Amino acid sequence: MYMDRSHPRFESLRRREKLAEGFRNGLVVPEGLIAQGRGEAFDYLLGERTIDAAEYAERAAAAALFLAKRATISVNGNVAALAASEVVALSRTSEASVEVNLFHWSESRARAIREALEAEGAKEVLAENPDRRLEGVAHDRGRCHSRGIFGADVVLIPLEDGDRASALVEMGKTVISIDLNPLSRTSRAAIISIVDELTRAIPNITKFVEELSGDSESARRTMDSYDNSETLSRVFSAILERLKSLSQR
């Protein structure tokens, strides 16, 4: 589809097109298209940009990934369709493993997502044949890999559902969410809640990991001073301020 770069919503249209293509290629399920629409509604409220509160959380996420003993990035169909190359870049920079994790599990979709990541240069993607289960998460949705999410101390979960996010927190992991909806159960359960659009958030985190340039003292300070309730409170204030200014005549 031809898209004019000068269109004011070019980036958003491009994301929609990538998801539609992902749907046609078997990466994305219909529920994923609905989730994108839900996210976009919140992005309008944020002004379709990375707000300061999100950047604050992204810096903490970079520090957590940098300090992790074993970090894993969880990838579902929407994430693969929208940001496969960005995920691969972050996994390289942060030395995190990559695991395919699906709400609607099928081996063939797990394989398709693994192949999409490999096409962008991923060396190893944990996908088919998961060998563990998350406690308290029913059926296929709890399936995961011991070398990935199950054994990780830090887990990045973009566009995740609330049950699984809570189960990971219950397991004592440092859970980093990326979710445009600050009211979702995922954003409320996470240890670090990034309220930002996926394709803006991932490159920002990669840049902040690079900026740490091996300085574990600085990463430790960032983590120690981080307060997630401050992040969420600042997100709600930013939305309120924006609506207040729009409501003034």
Q: Is 202 a residue that touches ligand ATP (CB under 6 A)?
A: no
Q: How far apart are the C-alpha atoms of 69 and 51, rounded to whole Å? A: 29
Q: Which CB, 127 or 190, lies closer to ligand ATP?
A: 190
What lies within 8 Å, CB to CB, of 145 at 6+ separation is 99, 126, 130, 131, 132
- Which segment (32-40, 66-74, 206-214, 215-223) binds ligand ATP by CB under 6 A? 32-40
Helices 10-24, 30-46: axis angle to 10 degrees equals 170
Phi first, then psi: what are they for 178, rounded to 5°? -125, 115
185 binds ligand ATP (CB under 6 A): yes
Interface with ligand ATP, residue 38, by CB under 6 A? yes
Closest separation in Å from C-beta 246 to ligand ATP: 21
DSSP-assigned states of every residue in 213-249: TT-HHHHHHHHHH--HHHHHHHHHHHHHHHHHHHH--
Contact 192, 61 (CB under 8 A): yes
Residue 96's φ and ψ, nearest 5 degrees, are -90, 145
Residues 66-95 that bind ligand ATP (CB under 6 A): 82
Which residue from 42, 66, 150, 208 is in contact with ligand ATP, where contact means CB under 6 A?
A: 42
Q: Is the dihedral of CA 104, 46, 89, 208 positive or negative?
A: negative
Binding range to ligand ATP, per CB under 6 A, among 63-71, 109-117, 155-163, 227-235? 155-163
Cβ–Cβ < 8 Å for 88, 111: no
Choose which of 58, 86, 99, 179 interacts with ligand ATP (CB under 6 A). 179
Helices 77-94, 52-67: inter-axial angle, 10-degree rounding = 60
Strands 154-158 and 71-75, sheet pairing: parallel
CB of 175 to ligand ATP, least distance (A): 12
Q: Which is nearer to ligand ATP, 199 or 218 (CB)?
A: 199
As measured in angstroms, the least distance from the Cβ of 57 to ligand ATP is: 13
Residue selected from 64, 178, 205, 219 as contacting ligand ATP according to rule CB under 6 A: 178
Q: Does 204 bind ligand ATP (CB under 6 A)?
A: no
> Least distance in Å: CB of 198 to ligand ATP?
4
Contact set with ligand ATP (CB under 6 A): 35-36, 38-39, 42, 82, 159, 161-162, 178-181, 184-186, 197-198
